[in-house]
Amino acid sequence: MTGGQAALLAMVVLPAVVGAGLSLSRRAEAASAPIAVATAVLTTALGVVAALARPTLAVPFVAGAEFALEVDALAALIVPMVTTVTLLVLVFAAGNIRSSRARFHGLMLVFAAAALTTAAAASLPALLFAWEIMGATSYALIGFWWREPHRVSAGLTAFITTRTADLGLYVAAGAALAGGAGMALADLPDAAAPWRDVLAAGILVAALGKAAQLPFSFWLSGAMNGPSPVSALLHSAAMVAMGGYLLLRMQPLLAATGWAGPAAAWIGVVTAVLLGAVALAQRELKQLLAASTVAQMGFVVLAAGVGAVSGGTAHLVAHAATKALLFLAAGAWLSALGTEKLHRLRGVARRWRLVGVTATVGALALAGIAPLSLWATKDAVLAGALEASPWLYAAGLLAAALSAAYAGKALWTVWRRGVPVQAQQGGTGKVGVLEQAPLVVLAVGAAVLGVLALPPLGPVLAEALGGHGGVSPLGLLVSAGLALAVLLALLHWRAPEPGWALHWLGLEAAAHAVVVRPAFTVAHALARFDDHVLDRAVHAVAGAVPRIARAAAQVDDRVLDPGIETTAAAAEATGRAAAQIDDAGIDATVEGVAARIRRLGQLARAPQTGAIHQYLFQAVAVLAIGVAAYSVYAVMG
């Protein structure tokens, strides 16, 4: 095993083992945060080594497929992103999470291990393995405060919704086996049609589910019930981001089918527009950020659909820094003030200046203001969209304008002058150092990561990842101007709040009406059928057996037994008559015969007990004798 392979293996195993240990331990409560941060530091270092060494690692796993990991050019960008954001979020959590720390940090590390495995997965079993563990840990993290039922419900919704989409990967595994190209991700585009189309469809559905694209978006709204650091990791750099990442990785497969690319592009851009409107309509900061995450992930999905892999990757990385920053800032305010209602956050940026300034950098980046990161990366995606279709480009611009609008709405609220906000019940009134430090690092990232999409780095990235590195100056100018215009307009007119989008387009209600309720109806109907029809039928059949037995017993008593009794009586009478004629010897013999016959009659009655299991034993005995007789016959003959 080379050093690079060892680093790759350790990068995955270390956080998994430490995390599992922490979450099950009951003694590590006080030490858990330092242990977790130290583990994250080591993992980050290992991730950097792996990104530089580009190792591959494959071991035999299930029948017909390996567990393969590989850090290629794409993973070399994503792996350090995941480890760095994990580290920063854990530092924040060390200051922010105050109870059940061991469980929290343990689950976060297990989650990080799963996300890193997903990023490095090179075969379908490895991908699905990590993919579903991500889902399960996200369930445990969203429902972290388990005494409150609505939070656990939200975790359940997230897990079931994403698992519904995950079924696509199971189907894809079957298609890979049938398509003859094997289960290595890189080989999937070579699968034979129509299996290749099944593969593409399965992977597309699974990725859309994780990335919370339409129609799966609603689970992310509920996921905001988790602690803020959870949102900062799961819904910026991992989990949701992994959905977009998978499509970027599988772009050759999408392109090979001919239809999957355009499908992904349109689903992505429609999600970006509609969820942009949803974000604009929200009245709570974390809900706004969640909807914005879905919308921004729409750009990544669009990028995968139109083949702008390098642009999409740059957008993914820049968005991870930006959104982790904003979720952490929201978390800091939430802990300090005990509320996340936007109208209660009025002027909050003025109260904690460092949080306010860094969050502003993040919000301006999200709005697409030049020269901050998302301005350039989004434009790299839009340049790809313009090549594919002007309509896609137009829709993308609309989504960009909406990003500026919802980011502006949040900014306007937190900087607004007025009555200073007061801490609500449960608010601590403080933002600690550990909570502030990560914000600075992330703000730098949110500001400068746009270089990934601009010359001279952009073309290099495009060379390594695929897609084209060209962003036209005109396009950049249009994007920058649009974002600025929308922001300035918001200063004059208040942001519109489209009421139809407040409840996330009614997607969850629709899922309940169309899927959940019918499923329960079917379940209850089948359970009733099982109890009242199937089981009763078995009982009816079984009940018939004693009835038949009773009937047989009656025949026995009324017909056979009297017959025997009569015979006996007749014999007795005959005997008595004979006794009158013959001597005592003959008489005794006759009496003996009669007694034996009576005994036979009693014996014949004995088996008719009415007890069903005894009848069965008799049946077996008869069967066994029959078998033996037949066997003898068969052997002889």
Partner 1 sequence: MLSTIVFLPLAAAAVLAAVPAIRPAAARWIWVTVSVAELVLIGVLWANYETPGANELAFEEQMPWIPGVGSSYHVGVDGLSLPLLAMTAVVFLACAVYAFRDNDRPRAQAALFLFLQGVSLGVFVAADLILFFVFFDLSIVGMYFVIAGWGHGSSARSALKFFLYTFLGSLSLLLGFIGLYVASTPHTFDIPELVAATPLDGNPLAGGLVLAAILVGLAVKTPTVPFHTWLPPAHTDAPATGSAVLAAVLLKMGTYGFVRIAMPMLPEAWRAWAWVIVAVGVVSVLYGAFVALAQTNLKRMIAYTSVNHMGYIVLALGAVGLVVDDAAQARSVAVTGAVTQMVSHGLITAALFLLAGVMQKRAGTYDMGSYGGLAGPAPRYAALFAIGAFASLGLPGFSGFIAEFQIFAGSVAVAPVTAIALLGILVTAALFLRALQRVFTGPTEGRSAGFADVRAEELWSVVPLLGLSVLIGVLPRVLLDVLGPASAALVGLVGR
For the chain, the straight-line distance linking the first and the last C-alpha, in angstroms and rounded, comes to 69
371: tokens are: 């020269």
CA distance 389 to 386: 5
Site for partner 1 in 87-126 (CB under 8 A): 125
What is the smallest separation between the CB atom of 146 and partner 1, expressed in angstroms? 4
Span of 49-57, 408-416, 579-587, 616-624 interacting with partner 1 by CB under 8 A: 616-624
Residue 260 near residue 301 (C-beta atoms within 8 A): no
Assign 69 to helix, strand or coil: strand
Task: Report helix, strand or coil for 57.
Answer: strand
The 3-class secondary structure across 398-428, one letter per residue, is: HHHHHHHHHHHHHHHHHHCCCCCCCCCCCCC
Out of 31, 42, 45, 136, name the contact with partner 1 by CB under 8 A: 136
Residue 613 in contact with partner 1, rule: CB under 8 A: yes
* Smallest distance, partner 1 to C-beta of residue 193, A: 14
For residues 600 and 594, what is the distance between their CA atoms, to the nearest angstrom? 10
Euclidean distance between CA atoms 622 and 631, whole angstroms: 14
Question: Is position 156 an interface residue for partner 1 (rule: CB under 8 A)?
Answer: yes
Candidate residues 148, 463, 497, 582; the one interacting with partner 1 per rule CB under 8 A: 148
Residues pairing with 66 in the sheet: 60
Is 604 a residue that touches partner 1 (CB under 8 A)? no
Is 285 in contact with 194 (CB distance < 8 Å)?
no
Of residues 450 through 509, those in contact with partner 1 by CB under 8 A are: none
- The answer to whether residue 229 forms part of the interface with partner 1 (CB under 8 A) is no
Applying CB under 8 A, does 543 fall inside the site for partner 1? no
Decide: is 133 part of the binding site for partner 1 (CB under 8 A).
Answer: yes
Structure tokens at 46: 């290992």
Q: Report the distance separating Cα 54 and Cα 461, nearest Å.
A: 16
Q: Is residue 408 within 8 Å of residue 342, measured between CB atoms?
A: no
> How far apart are CB 267 and partner 1 at their closest, in Å?
22
Q: Build a one-symbol-per-residue string for 23-42: x at contacts with partner 1 by CB under 8 A, - elsewhere.
A: -x-x----------------
Size of the site for partner 1 (CB under 8 A): 66
Our finding on whether 173 is near partner 1 (CB under 8 A) is yes
Q: Which is nearer to partner 1, 128 or 290 (CB)?
A: 128
- Alpha-carbon span 212 to 235, nearest angstrom: 10
In the list 19, 143, 384, 408, the residue contacting partner 1 (rule: CB under 8 A) is: 143
Q: Tell me the window of 86-94, 204-212, 251-259, 612-620 that interacts with partner 1 (CB under 8 A).
A: 612-620
Binding track over 62-91 against partner 1, x by CB under 8 A: xxxx--------------------------
Tokens of 239: 């989990």
Cα gap 138→127, rounded to integer Å: 16
In this chain, which of 146, 259, 391, 500 binds partner 1, going by CB under 8 A? Answer: 146
Q: Please, which residues have CB within 8 angstroms of residue 458's CB and are 6 or more apart in sequence?
A: 310, 314, 380, 451, 452, 469, 470, 471
Q: Which of 38, 544, 621, 627 binds partner 1 (CB under 8 A)?
A: 627
- The binding site for partner 1 (CB under 8 A) comprises 24, 26, 59-65, 125, 128-133, 136, 139, 143, 146-149, 152-153, 156, 159-160, 163-164, 167, 170-171, 173-178, 180, 198, 519-520, 522-524, 526-527, 530, 534-535, 538, 542, 612-613, 616, 619-620, 623, 627-628, 630-632, 634-635
